[in-house]
Amino acid sequence: MSSSSSPPEVAIIGGGPAGLIAAEALAQAGLTVTVYDRMPSVGRKLLMAGRGGLNLTHSEEFERFVARYAEAQPRLRPLIEAFRPEDLRAWCEGLGQETFVGSSGRVFPKAFKASPLLRAWLARLESLGVRFALRHRWQGWDEDGHLIFTGPAGQTVRTKPAATILALGGASWPRLGSDGTWVEHLTQRGIAVSPLRPANMGFTLAWSEIMRSRFEGEPLKRIALTFAGRTVKGEAIVTADGIEGGAIYALSATLRDAIERAGGATLHLDLRPDLSEEALAKRLSAPRKGQSASTFLRKNAGLGPVGIALMREASPSLPSEPTALARLIKAVPLTLTGTKSLDRAISSAGGVPFTELDDHLMLKRMPGVFLAGEMLDWEAPTGGYLLQAAFATGIAAARGVLARWQIPDDALTLNPSSATRHS
């Protein structure tokens, strides 16, 4: 781009992390940027994530980190290498929000919420001249290639920017903005889209009435779950129709796929992962002295009411033999019947396959249209991996726009440490 020509105008559709970071990068490089969003304000899902502390990224070793993206790792790796977890932390701290590493290795802002970060971010975007068109619902393209929006008063708005970045999210928590209606707009243009499915979600079980009425909302702490040869330690929570929580989310992709294949899946719950089966059996060999089964298990195995209830769900007549009882405690079978709905999942799987995109995340069939964030066909567990990939793909799409207009990459000053590696 010559110094005499005016900067390209870029439309970014979607005001989540991927769209906002792309807007920041392009505005810093001197481009004219407008962010469109159907909601009255941007960053709504980011604010919801902040209710749990806003897990930005993870501090684990990089090879282990990128392995969390499973099948999508080959395509996401170079994007995350260009904007690594340490770059995300530096960017956050550049907005005045210091970060810290929790005991699990997860990274959080010290404020432990999203609102201060989002306020500082929006102030920076405003200072860079980024414009916002809120309450604008995207309706696809017209026959001349104009973007079509329904505006706040129901009017039709058309615009034809030099480049477009689509960052509309998946289809989880649609009331916060990402409702998946973009799928139809892309498929009408011949773009393949893998079906959107729930990810990092809970599962349904056929609980007994006692389990539903007495233990809904009860936490399961310091447990381990095992499925398909993989064991995850953590916590979960009993719901009226099933189970959810961090340990469940870590296994959710494998469990979901198994349920889709077979109609159900059985995982095993270890109520005392800190004790071996042999150690438990020894404790359970003590005389009962007239104690009820619940009292005996509470005193000798350290189990609470919800754990004992789960054992009874699996085996109404609890084994009396110590080894068999210990075996049940270490592997309570939970038969999952289905997944919780997509609209309540933390994230969604599916989306536009990477085969539809070039190395700059531009649609091969639609030059000048780039994708970022959860619209792409990748998924990851909770733990900071979701936001990290959203930020990294947003920056990658912005770099794609710069490359298309031959604007030097060093014009992007968002993350100088990565820019140095990238050049």
CATH (domain of 20): 3.50.50.60
Decide if pLDDT at 95 tops 90: yes
Same domain, 333 and 397: no
pLDDT score, position 412: 61
Q: pLDDT tens for residues 130-187?
A: 999 999 999 999 999 999 999 999 999 999 999 999 999 999 999 999 999 999 999 9
Judge whether 362 and 355 are in contact, CB under 8 Å.
Answer: no
pLDDT score, position 413: 63
Instruction: For residue 4, tell me if it sits in a domain.
Output: no
Same domain, 179 and 310: no
Same domain, 132 and 158: yes
The pTM score is 0.92
Rounded to 10 degrees, what is the CA torsion of 178, 82, 412, 354? -50
Decide if pLDDT at 305 tops 70: yes
Read off the pLDDT of each residue in 102-115 and give the average, rounded to a whole number: 95
Domain final residue, candidates 311, 339, 367: 339
The most distant pair of C-alpha atoms in the chain lies apart, rounded to whole Å, by: 92
DSSP state of 175: G
Domain final residue, candidates 339, 366, 385: 339
**Any idea which residue has 């079906």 for tokens?**
195
pLDDT score, position 5: 65
DSSP state of 97: -
pLDDT band at residue 418 under the 50/70/90 scheme: very low
Same domain, 15 and 157: yes
Same domain, 176 and 292: no
Q: pLDDT tens for residues 206-263?
A: 999 999 999 999 999 999 999 999 999 999 999 999 999 999 999 999 999 999 999 9
* Residue 387 CB partners (closer than 8 Å, separation 6+): 17, 49, 55, 56, 57, 88
Same domain, 272 and 368: no
Domain final residue, candidates 306, 339, 372: 339
More confident residue, 299 or 3: 299
Q: pLDDT tens for residues 349-401?
A: 999 999 999 999 999 999 999 999 999 999 999 999 999 999 999 999 999 99
User: Is the alpha carbon torsion for 148, 149, 154, 155 positive or negative?
Assistant: negative
